[in-house]
Amino acid sequence: MSTPPSATTIGAQTFADCGEGKHHLKLFRVNAGIPLREALEHAAHVLDCATTLSLEVAMDPRNARLAFAAHYLCEMGKAVLDDLHLAIQPGGPHPQ
């Protein structure tokens, strides 16, 4: 499938649950209208940071406090990628 050069985020993906029993409440949303290249670059940086943090946690349990930071970064990066995936799907959701 070819990706249109003008593909942008559509703002459909949300992330950051607001707590136990409140998984339907999301604190953040991917903004619509971000060009594909910039969104992918940002997701790559966020996921690289998450990889570094998770390795720190794995190598030294005293860094366990970093685990949630890595979790949130992964959630952010995944939301950007999921939003872009929806944006390039024929007949997908419309921009928010």
pLDDT of residue 5: 55
The domain ranges of the chain are 14-88
pLDDT band at 96 (very low <50, low <70, confident <90, very high): low
pLDDT of residue 51: 95
pLDDT tens, residue by residue, 44-85: 999 999 999 999 999 998 998 999 999 999 999 999 999 999
Q: Is the model's pTM score more than 0.85?
A: no
pLDDT of residue 24: 87
In whole numbers, what is the pLDDT of the chain averaged over residues? Answer: 89
State how beta strands 14-17 and 26-29 pair: antiparallel
Task: Count CA within 13 A, CB hemisphere, residue 69.
Answer: 14
pLDDT of residue 79: 96
pLDDT band at 95 (very low <50, low <70, confident <90, very high): low
Does residue 3 surpass a pLDDT of 80?
no
